């Protein structure tokens, strides 16, 4: 009885929190802060997407910055050349990015571990060079400016406009919640469990009858689709895209967000995206120092807390519970002994 | 035009070959890709540049840069990688990326982002051979690269230390059982690979300038060459490096210079998918 | 199941917490800024590349603006208010420029922005500063200001359509050049300059035999140069910044391409060109709006000021100094009202280091450039402005 009361109470709090988040712009008057928060939301979507393939399926990609770029450039090109609105561009961006994700996944996922990392790296670099050199379509180094903001929506007497940052925020928040919902649905489904099985032991998963390659490719495609959505949202938010945003370092940034937050955890993706975005904006005045700290943070985290902040949380929680309950979420660490080969 | 591109290709290829050696040697003993290797290339060039500013003789400045590069590689291994021997490969990879971000920005913090030219006694002179002009510094690069390759080959096959490194690359655990200090072998491997990488950076400095992010693409190319040659295969890496430089130069000259860097990436993808053991082959890591 | 709920709850809590944290810290800084802004300082932003390949330009511009502000502040400031400089690093890229201009306007509440240096970032960032009604005095050569329809956008340097004919005329008439090969940066700047150069060829009887492009940051030009070499041009026009100009000419000499090199504008007018290019950039010809050896009282005053503050007197330092003086003058007259500031800048008429500062209805200056050449490692005027 007490238990159910507690869960009801928790659910209530959760819903309250979610609703409260939508009204955040009322409390924040500084447009720059709103801008940073919006960036966090876009990065959260990216981290969620990458986590699907890295954290839940155990396949590492350092090419997701390119998927982000494809999403952004598709939206930008459609908006600029054909005058399409955001509402048309978004689904088209997602579909096209997913399609390219599918092709890349289909070609690349036959490779394992380092070889997959190399292949995604090569792919990401090629896409970036295409953004940089296909001047007729992408504007080359100049990028594409003057992308239109999403047109307003009218529901009854309410009109939602998306011109300023605080107007754009609920839209982004909606997509982040949608992303979280989709992620939860996937990882709780049989398909999601197949993915975690592949992550934990690929051979065992295969012997259990899981179609390993097919599962990986589908997850990779979904993961790319997340980045495509983030890209379209980014293009219509910043209203300018240029190639240097989508270099290798973008892919690394997203991966770092996932690693620092903690792989295989929704909360981890949110935390990683928040920390990295806020710290990089806060250190904007000292750009060299920012990157030094940033790199240092990556090395220290990966050396001493390889499971990220969520891993740390769980460790602390388990200590507090004095090992009364074995939390089911702990995943066995994949031992990659470097001395064995 | 054809000969021009061929010469450019051979010069570039020499640099890639030198870079590839570092990747392939580290792969041999630790089975991982040291993504921070490009930073050794940059670090060596910067130290040389700095030494030249202090009025050091050129040969000493170059040598100092090479030593600094070797030390940087040694340090990387001792401070970070050695503590991560049991960690998954992905973690090592991310640590390497972190190191390279730190080093790039430390360089920028100390020396600034503006590209600087490293001095070379040969740069402003050309040889003229039958209507063809060849820059002396280019010749210097090629000669030095050949020299390094010969020395490295002798070291690996004729010295006890080199043989220990070779043994370690076959089975590091067994090597340790034989009474060879595995950590020492790993350190030596890092130092040698890094010294060669730093030399590449120093040789390039007079032509393509020295700046904090110079190692990024050089690293990618060197790494592509090491995959092309077959990971772990040192002579393979050298030949593949040369090949890559030549292919790239011709592609840039006859197709499009904007896609120069894409050529290496396309080759990398192709090799990975079609012939992951590289053109010249070498046993790759078996899945446990 | 239970623990997952916990995680989600924690996540929501963290989100709220993180956002509050950001909100607080930023609010602190913004209240701090509004306090000081309403008190005794006026903030002006500098949008320039402070890191990356073009960092030298950013540093020069920062030096210039700081010199001007120091001078103004020591003379009592503007209407009793001191000028404060907020530096924003645009990394010479469009998306970073938008981000940084955004921050300067919304968080630091700057009244005006000087910069950027590169054309494409300026074109992107003026879409933020325009609607926010913030004066934007840029140093990019290419954007056609009338096309932006932004009344708050001005330009302190000359336009491509003024620079290019001057140098083309000189090359055709004095150097008797007939066949020109062009190599230009594949950006708004390079493309505009090349198009302007092509326009002027018809009357002069010269021809562009090839147009090679490169991307900003490229270091290897051997492919383009050996193509140009086979075509045997009389001269090569390089549109680029000092890094690229120095490298291109160096690599051209290495490849045995020994012809006259020239540039349509003064964006490579920097000591750094000589430092990087050495002998290879000797005899390089370009059109310039400023001569650092000019014998004018403004130039003398500027050089004395630079020496006193231990700042190298570079061309871009001087131009940025002029920009800062013009902005200060406009802010003084307009008194902080966005529209009045704009009108004051539009009708400004002062004499700066770079000659009279006046803007036409597009926000451009109409001074005529001079022709300069690198001789013995120094920049010499070889033809005065008309």
State the Cα–Cα distance between residues C44 and C112, nearest whole angstrom: 5
Which domains are present in chain B?
2-274 (1.10.3470)
Q: What is the ipTM of this complex?
A: 0.85
How high is the pLDDT of residue C3?
53
* For residues B252-258, average pLDDT: 81
Interface A–B counts its CB contacts (< 8 A) at 143
State the Cα–Cα distance between residues C19 and C122, nearest whole angstrom: 31
Kindly tell me if the per-residue pLDDT of C130 is higher than 80.
yes
How high is the pLDDT of residue C161?
81
Instruction: Write out chain C residues lying below 8 Å of B41, CB-based.
Output: none
Instruction: Write out chain A residues lying below 8 Å of C15, CB-based.
Output: 17, 21, 270, 274
Nearest-Cα residue of chain A relative to residue B277: A115
φ, ψ for residue C115 (rounded to 5)? 105, -170
φ, ψ for residue C260 (rounded to 5)? -70, 130
How high is the pLDDT of residue C39?
63
What residue spans define the domains of chain C?
40-157+295-357, 160-288
State the Cα–Cα distance between residues B123 and B141, nearest whole angstrom: 11
Q: Do domains C40-157+295-357 and C160-288 have the same CATH topology?
A: yes
Q: Are C30 and C86 in contact (CB under 8 A)?
A: no
Give Cα A32 distance to the centre of its chain.
22
Kindly tell me if the per-residue pLDDT of B202 is higher than 80.
yes
A 10 A CB-CB count for B148 gives 20
Instruction: Write out chain C residues lying below 8 Å of B49, CB-based.
Output: none
State the Cα–Cα distance between residues A81 and A77, nearest whole angstrom: 6
What single-letter DSSP state applies at residue C289? S
Question: From 1.10.10.10, 1.10.630.10, 3.30.56.10, 3.40.50.2300, which CATH number describes the C160-288 domain?
Answer: 3.40.50.2300
> Angle CA(A325)–CA(A330)–CA(A332) in degrees, nearest 5?
125
Which H helix or E strand runs over A30?
none
Kindly tell me if the per-residue pLDDT of C32 is higher than 50.
no
Q: Decide if C275 and B108 are in contact by the 8 Å CB cutoff.
A: no
Q: Which of C197, C141, C209, C208 is nearest to C170 (CA)?
A: C197
The backbone region for C91, taken as left when phi is positive above 0, alpha when psi lies in -120 to 50, beta otherwise, is left
Q: What is the pTM of this model?
A: 0.86
Q: Please tell me the CATH superfamily of domain C40-157+295-357, with its number.
A: Response regulator (3.40.50.2300)
State the Cα–Cα distance between residues B229 and B237, nearest whole angstrom: 4
State the Cα–Cα distance between residues C193 and C183, nearest whole angstrom: 11
Candidate from B97, B262, B272 with C-beta closest to A118: B272
Choose between B128 and B163: higher pLDDT: B163
State the Cα–Cα distance between residues A282 and A297, nearest whole angstrom: 15
Instruction: Identify the chains in contact with C, defined as 3+ C-beta pairs within 8 A.
Output: A, B
Instruction: Write out chain C residues lying below 8 Å of B8, CB-based.
Output: 222-223, 226
Instruction: List the 279-318 stretch of C: residues with Cβ below 8 A of A.
Output: none
Q: Are C110 and C159 in contact (CB under 8 A)?
A: no
Nearest-Cα residue of chain C relative to residue B124: C254
* For residues A299-305, average pLDDT: 84
Nearest-Cα residue of chain C relative to residue A317: C3
φ, ψ for residue B133 (rounded to 5)? -110, 125
Work out the burial of residue A246: count CB atoms within 10 Å of its CB; fewer than 13 is exposed, 13-18 middle, 19 or more buried. buried
* For residues A205-215, average pLDDT: 90
Q: Does A207 contact chain B (CB < 8 Å)?
A: no
Q: Does C93 contact chain B (CB < 8 Å)?
A: no
How high is the pLDDT of residue C285?
92
The whole-angstrom distance between A5's CA and the closest CA on chain C is 13
Per DSSP bridges, beta strands C179-185 and C235-239 are parallel
pLDDT digits (tens, 9 = 90+) for C252-265: 988 888 899 999 88
Q: Does C232 contact chain B (CB < 8 Å)?
A: no
Three-state DSSP state, C238: strand
Half-sphere exposure of C93 (CA within 13 A, CB side): 19
Q: Are B11 and B248 in contact (CB under 8 A)?
A: no
Please, where are the H alpha helices in B31-57? Answer: 37-53
Per DSSP bridges, beta strands C260-263 and C285-288 are parallel
Token pair listed for B71? 């030390």
How high is the pLDDT of residue B260?
84
Candidate from B12, B124, B126 with C-beta closest to C256: B126
Q: Does A328 contact chain B (CB < 8 Å)?
A: no
pLDDT digits (tens, 9 = 90+) for C221-253: 988 888 898 889 999 999 988 888 999 998 898
pLDDT digits (tens, 9 = 90+) for C53-91: 777 888 889 999 999 999 999 988 888 888 999 888 888
Instruction: Write out chain C residues lying below 8 Å of A35, CB-based.
Output: 99, 102-103, 106
Write the CB contacts of B114 (distance below 8 Å, at least 6 apart in sequence).
B211, C53, C55, C56, C272
Instruction: List the 247-276 stretch of B: residues with Cβ below 8 A of C.
Output: 249, 252-253, 257-258, 260
Per DSSP bridges, beta strands C207-214 and C179-185 are parallel
Q: Are C206 and C178 in contact (CB under 8 A)?
A: yes
| Percent of chain A topping pLDDT 70 | 92
* For residues B265-284, average pLDDT: 80
For residue A17, what pLDDT band results from cuts at 50, 70 and 90?
confident
State the Cα–Cα distance between residues B220 and C196, nearest whole angstrom: 38
State the Cα–Cα distance between residues B50 and B55, nearest whole angstrom: 9
Instruction: Write out chain C residues lying below 8 Å of B13, CB-based.
Output: none
Instruction: Write out chain B residues lying below 8 Å of C275, CB-based.
Output: 116-117
Contacts 24+ apart (CB under 8 A), A163-167: A164/A31, A164/A34, A165/A31, A165/A34, A165/A35, A165/A38, A166/A25, A166/A28, A166/A31, A166/A34, A167/A25
Contacts 24+ apart (CB under 8 A), A6-15: A7/C2, A7/C5, A10/C5, A10/C9, A11/C5, A13/C9, A14/C5, A14/C8, A14/C9, A14/C12
Torsion of CA B58, B60, B66, B71, to 10 degrees: -140
How high is the pLDDT of residue C15?
57
Q: Are A150 and A167 in contact (CB under 8 A)?
A: no
Q: Decide if A31 and C18 are in contact by the 8 Å CB cutoff.
A: no
């Amino acid at each position: 009885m007490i238990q159910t009361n507690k869960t009801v109470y928790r659910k209530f709090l959760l819903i309250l929190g979610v609703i409260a988040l939508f009204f955040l712009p009322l409390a924040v008057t500084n447009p720059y802060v709103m801008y940073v928060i919006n960036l966090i939301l876009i990065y959260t979507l990216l981290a969620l997407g990458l986590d699907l393939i890295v954290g839940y399926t155990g396949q590492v990609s350092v090419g997701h910055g390119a998927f982000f770029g494809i999403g952004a450039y598709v939206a930008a090109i459609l908006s600029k050349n054909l005058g399409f609105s955001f509402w048309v561009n978004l689904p088209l961006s997602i579909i096209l990015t997913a399609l390219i994700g599918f092709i890349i996944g289909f070609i690349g996922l036959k490779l394992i571990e380092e070889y997959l990392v190399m292949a995604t790296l090569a792919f990401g670099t090629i896409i970036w060079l295409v953004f940089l050199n296909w001047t007729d379509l992408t504007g080359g180094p100049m990028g594409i400016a003057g992308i239109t903001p999403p047109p307003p929506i009218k529901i009854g007497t309410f009109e939602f406009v998306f011109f300023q940052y605080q107007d754009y925020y609920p839209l982004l928040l909606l997509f982040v919640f949608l992303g979280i919902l989709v992620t939860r649905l996937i990882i709780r489904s049989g398909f999601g469990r197949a993915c975690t099985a592949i992550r934990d032991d690929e051979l065992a998963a295969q012997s259990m009858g899981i179609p390993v390659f097919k599962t990986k490719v589908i997850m990779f495609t979904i993961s790319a689709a997340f980045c495509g959505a983030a890209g379209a949202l980014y293009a219509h938010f910043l209203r300018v895209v240029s190639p240097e945003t989508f270099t290798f370092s973008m892919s690394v940034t997203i991966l770092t967000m996932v690693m620092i937050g903690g792989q295989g955890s929704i909360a981890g993706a949110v935390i990683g995206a928040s920390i990295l975005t806020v710290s990089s904006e806060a250190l904007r005045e000292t750009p060299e120092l920012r990157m030094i700290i940033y790199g240092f943070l990556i090395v220290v985290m990966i050396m001493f807390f390889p499971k990220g902040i969520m891993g740390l949380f769980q460790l602390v929680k388990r200590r507090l519970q004095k090992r009364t309950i074995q939390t089911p979420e702990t995943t066995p660490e994949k031992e990659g002994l470097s001395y064995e080969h | 035009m054809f000969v021009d591109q061929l010469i450019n290709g051979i010069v570039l290829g020499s640099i890639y070959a030198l870079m590839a050696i570092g990747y392939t040697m580290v792969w041999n003993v630790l089975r991982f890709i040291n993504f921070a290797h490009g930073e050794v290339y940059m670090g060596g060039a910067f130290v040389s540049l700095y030494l030249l500013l202090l009025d050091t003789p050129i040969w000493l400045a170059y040598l100092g840069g090479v030593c600094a590069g070797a030390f940087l590689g040694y340090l990387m291994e001792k401070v970070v990688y050695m503590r991560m021997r049991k960690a998954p490969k992905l973690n090592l990879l991310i640590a390497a990326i972190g190191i390279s971000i730190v080093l790039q920005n430390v360089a920028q913090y100390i020396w600034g982002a503006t590209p600087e030219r490293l001095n070379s006694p040969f740069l402003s002179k050309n040889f003229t051979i039958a209507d063809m002009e060849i820059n002396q510094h280019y010749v210097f690069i090629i000669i030095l690269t050949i020299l390094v390759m010969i020395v490295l080959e002798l070291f690996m096959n004729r010295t006890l230390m080199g043989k220990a490194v070779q043994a370690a690359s076959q089975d590091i655990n067994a090597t340790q059982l034989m009474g060879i200090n595995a950590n020492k072998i790993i350190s030596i491997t890092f130092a040698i690979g890094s010294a060669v990488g730093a030399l590449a950076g120093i040789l390039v400095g007079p032509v393509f300038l020295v700046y904090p992010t110079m190692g990024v693409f050089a690293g990618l190319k060197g790494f592509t060459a090491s995959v092309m040659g077959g990971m772990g295969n040192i002579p393979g890496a050298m030949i593949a490096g040369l090949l890559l430089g030549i292919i790239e130069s011709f592609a840039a000259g006859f197709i499009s210079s904007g896609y120069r860097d894409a050529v290496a990436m396309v080759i990398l993808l192709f090799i990975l998918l079609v012939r992951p053991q590289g053109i010249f082959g070498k046993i790759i890591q078996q899945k446990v | 199941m239970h623990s997952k709920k916990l995680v989600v709850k924690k996540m929501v809590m963290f989100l709220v917490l993180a956002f509050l944290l950001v909100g607080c810290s930023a609010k602190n800084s913004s209240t701090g800024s509004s306090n000081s802004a309403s008190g005794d300082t006026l903030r002006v932003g500098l949008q320039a590349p402070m890191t990356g390949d073009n960092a030298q330009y950013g540093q020069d511009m920062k030096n210039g603006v700081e010199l001007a502000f120091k001078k103004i502040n020591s003379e009592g400031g503007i209407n009793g208010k001191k000028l404060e400089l907020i530096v924003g690093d645009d990394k010479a890229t469009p998306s970073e420029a938008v981000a940084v201009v955004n921050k300067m306007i919304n968080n630091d509440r700057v009244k005006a922005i000087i910069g950027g240096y590169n054309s494409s970032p300026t074109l992107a960032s003026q879409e933020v500063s325009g609607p926010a009604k913030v004066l934007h005095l840029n140093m990019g050569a290419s954007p056609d200001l009338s096309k932006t329809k932004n009344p708050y956008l001005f330009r302190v340097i000359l336009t491509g359509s003024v620079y290019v004919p001057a140098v083309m005329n000189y090359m055709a008439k004095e150097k008797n050049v007939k066949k020109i090969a062009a190599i230009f940066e594949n950006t708004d700047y390079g493309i505009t300059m090349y198009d302007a150069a092509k326009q002027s060829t018809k009357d002069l009887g010269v021809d562009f035999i090839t147009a090679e492009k490169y991307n900003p940051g490229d270091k290897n030009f051997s492919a383009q140069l050996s193509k140009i070499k086979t075509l045997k041009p009389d001269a090569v026009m390089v549109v680029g910044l000092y890094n690229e100009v120095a490298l291109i000419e160096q690599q051209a000499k290495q490849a045995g391409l020994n012809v006259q090199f020239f540039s349509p504008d003064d964006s490579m007018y920097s000591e750094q060109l000589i430092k990087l290019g050495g002998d290879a950039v000797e005899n390089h010809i370009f059109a310039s709006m400023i001569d650092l050896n000019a014998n004018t009282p403004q130039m003398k005053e500027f050089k004395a000021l630079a020496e006193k503050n231990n700042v190298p007197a570079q061309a871009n330092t001087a131009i940025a100094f002029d920009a800062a003086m013009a902005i200060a003058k406009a802010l003084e007259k307009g008194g902080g009202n966005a529209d009045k500031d704009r009108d004051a800048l539009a009708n400004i008429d002062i004499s700066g280091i770079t000659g009279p500062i006046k803007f036409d209805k597009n926000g451009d200056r109409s001074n005529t450039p001079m022709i300069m050449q690198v001789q013995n490692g120094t920049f010499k005027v070889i033809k005065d402005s008309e």
